[in-house]
Amino acid sequence: LWWHKPVIDQELLQSLPNLKVIANSGVGMDHLDLKLVASFGVKMANAPRAVCSSTADAGMALLLASARRLVEVHHIAISSSMDYCEADILGVKVSGATLGIIGMGRIGYKIALRAKAFEMKILYHNRTQRKAQEEQAVGATYCEKIDSLLQQADFVMVAVSLTPQTRNLIGKRELELMKPTATLVNISRGAVVDQEALVMALQTGVIWAAALDVTYPEPLPRDHPLLKLKNVIITPHLGIKTDKTTYMITEEAVENILAALNGLPMPSEVL
């Protein structure tokens, strides 16, 4: 299953009586009706290990690009006029800043490993606290209440999976808790953020900036306000889109498919 196609609905499942397994290219399973698929006796697998590094890299790429205004200044550097004031293109220092990671799963943890090397102070919010050694290895401090993380972070990185509990996790209230100098980076799913609230927050200076690899829908309608805001970077859901990761996803998918067809335990079965 690549890029959510084909759509797995009742019709499709009825037309494929011999279907044994669906392997998803990526880790998110929010586009699949797990109950429906299970009711047809079809097994499901995702590719959690294959995607972590490239997604963490993308998160860091967005954080850095936003902080240092990379897209903006690149356009200045190549534009036909060279009228700009040096003092106007100052960015925000990343090293030593505070990063708040919401969702400390495999991807969130890889982000913490990278951020540590940038001497960032790391806070995290997660359904459960990580083990002490894992926290120490990246110097991460657990925030049981998300509010505490939002109030202290210079960069808020969202790396949760999309579930009924995380839908609109970041809304008006959460955005208002963030510092006015803070940047929101979303590499999870568009629906985790209340997009209208985000637009308002960005327009009124409630938060400083946003960098989004995911939106709802993808792509956004061409007249959407997010496309026009100067303090927003949007990328086309490129979190896992590298040659190496595509290869690894395919390998992981094949492993799972072969295991399912041979009646063996699947390495990344999703129940």
Partner 1 sequence: MWYHKPVVNKELLQSLPNLRIVASSGVGIDHLDLNLLSSFGVKVSNTPFIVSTDTADLGMALMLASSRRLVEGYEMAVSPDTEYFPADWLGAEVSGATLGIVGMGTIGYKVAERAKAFEMKILYHNRSQRKKEEESAVGAVYCKKIDDLLQQSDFVLLAVNLTPQTHKLIGKRELELMKPTATLINISRGLVVDQDALVEALQNKVIKAAALDVTYPEPLPRDHPLLKLKNVIITPHIGSATKKTRRIMMEEMTESIQAGIAGLPIPHEVL
Binding stretches for partner 1 (CB under 8 A): 2-3, 53-54, 56-58, 60-62, 64-65, 67-71, 73-74, 76-78, 80-82, 84, 86, 89-96, 113-114, 116-119, 218-220, 222, 227, 233-238, 241-246
Q: Is position 218 annotated as part of the catalytic site?
A: yes
The sheet with strand 140-142 has its strands ordered as: 140-142, 121-125, 98-102, 155-158, 183-186, 209-212, 232-234
- The three-point CA angle 28-32-194 to 5° equals 60
* Min dist. Cβ of residue 77 to partner 1 (A): 4
* Min dist. Cβ of residue 141 to partner 1 (A): 18
Shorter beta-carbon distance to partner 1: residue 31 or 172:
31
Shorter beta-carbon distance to partner 1: residue 177 or 210:
210
- Which of 141, 146, 233 minimizes the C-alpha distance to 185? 233
Shorter beta-carbon distance to partner 1: residue 106 or 172:
106
* Min dist. Cβ of residue 135 to partner 1 (A): 16
Q: Is position 4 annotated as part of the catalytic site?
A: no
* CA–CA distance, 173 with 197 (Å, rounded to integer): 9
Residue that the structure tokens 């100052």 belong to: 90
**Catalytic residue from among 69, 114, 125, 189:** 189
Shorter beta-carbon distance to partner 1: residue 11 or 243:
243
Shorter beta-carbon distance to partner 1: residue 53 or 161:
53
- Which of 157, 183, 179 minimizes the C-alpha distance to 169? 157
* Min dist. Cβ of residue 255 to partner 1 (A): 20
* Min dist. Cβ of residue 163 to partner 1 (A): 24
* CA–CA distance, 199 with 148 (Å, rounded to integer): 23
* CA–CA distance, 87 with 15 (Å, rounded to integer): 63
Q: For residue 256, what are the contacts with CB-CB under 8 A and spacing of at least 6?
A: 21, 23, 45, 266, 267, 268, 269
Q: Is position 173 annotated as part of the catalytic site?
A: no
**Catalytic residue from among 4, 31, 218, 269:** 218
Residues belonging to the active site: 189, 218, 237
